[in-house]
Structure 1
């Protein structure tokens, strides 16, 4: 079964492999980890208040088991040691920084700010030299709920009970993942996240042009005002508005004519106009 090629590589699906395992992907994740030191850097974002003499699974081991399960299973099988129980993983996931040092059971505290910085650092390190321009894509999507979870709200647009997390990407790189309840506006918290991310990027790449891109849910005065104040470009969707279309009719036509004179830009403008109808 042939699929679309990937660059010069042919992609072909075959089903005569005999007995195979799906755990092999964990080995690839291990190679990625060894190149960028992801697990060590992520584990460094936690403070472990447990008694060192009583620890069987280090924070790094718990992070590996939680996030890279396949790779962790291979390592544990080789060592003959059991995986950490769910109660041990809870010490990693549910610890509260302010009380972890005195908590009897949840004595591992996460530094959320450090993890936020790590996502952006990994993005910056993926470039050999600063790019001339980058796009930051903002998006809010539904995370459906199927029980009586805390912060459970019904969202009219998605027609379900859900959370409404905020994501910020640059290409394939995740720069922000913020869990939110569904009773908030799609753009809630965006300015704070942009201020943090843009500040970290500009500290390393002061000359790189930054442009944000998002749908109509992020077309808010607060975001546009922040972008204009901080020299950040923006391309935001606008809700259909006949009065606004009439008011901007001449400007839109002038823009179309200007794009036609630039050749390839005309196609981009037509695509943009089609998406806004």
Structure 2
């Protein structure tokens, strides 16, 4: 029996004002197409928004290229696709699929990539209880400790309301 190939296209919700279509005709490729599904799950569950609310950003607004929510979203997407090492993000920051899923196809400044690199993400990960000269993003560890179980053990209320 001969293999029958289908060259169909799969359409996803638009992002950054562009159509998102998965095709299998060998055009511009990425092995990380699953990030679009992770983005849709994040949109539904609000993980990035909820975890970003557990941080205080003390950076000067005029110099901020990546919001805390953008950094959290990028880190969640990377972890979901198996990129647990921050070094991986120096290549991923130029990946169009990751940029599309993050809602950024280009940087806000001419010398910036669409997504953050390892050094910027490291500032989020090493955030402490108070700001210092080099770490201006402050984690509320109590809020993180409270939010994580809420996300992991979310259950349905018998009255039809969701715990969140």
TM-score category of the 2 structures, normalised to the smaller one: 0.5 to 0.7
Q: Kindly indicate whether structure 1 or structure 2 has the higher relative contact order, using CA contacts under 8 Å at least 6 residues apart.
A: 2
Task: Point out the more displaced range, 37-46 or 65-74.
Answer: 65-74
Q: Identify the residue that residue 134 of structure 2 maps to in structure 1.
A: 105
Q: Identify the residue that residue 74 of structure 2 maps to in structure 1.
A: 65
TM-score of the superposed pair, with normalisation by structure 1: 0.36
- Superposed, 1:150-161 pairs within 5 Å as none
Task: Tell whether the 8 Å contact from 1:42 to 1:115 is kept in structure 2 after alignment.
Answer: yes
Task: Tell whether the 8 Å contact from 1:90 to 1:106 is kept in structure 2 after alignment.
Answer: no
Task: Tell whether the 8 Å contact from 1:39 to 1:64 is kept in structure 2 after alignment.
Answer: yes
Q: Identify the residue that residue 57 of structure 2 maps to in structure 1.
A: 48
Mapped partners of 2:52, 2:103: distance in 1: 22
5+ residue gaps, structure 1, are 1-13, 131-203, 205-277
Q: CA 1:75–1:25 in structure 2 vs 1: closer, same or farther (change >3 Å)? A: closer
Q: CA 1:94–1:127 in structure 2 vs 1: closer, same or farther (change >3 Å)? A: same
Shift of 1:21: 4.0
Q: Identify the residue that residue 84 of structure 1 maps to in structure 2.
A: 116
Aligned residues: 114
5+ residue gaps, structure 2, are 8-23, 82-96, 108-112
Task: Tell whether the 8 Å contact from 2:127 to 2:138 is kept in structure 1 after alignment.
Answer: yes
CA RMSD of aligned residues (A): 2.9
Higher strand share: 1
Give the structure with higher Rg (CA): 1
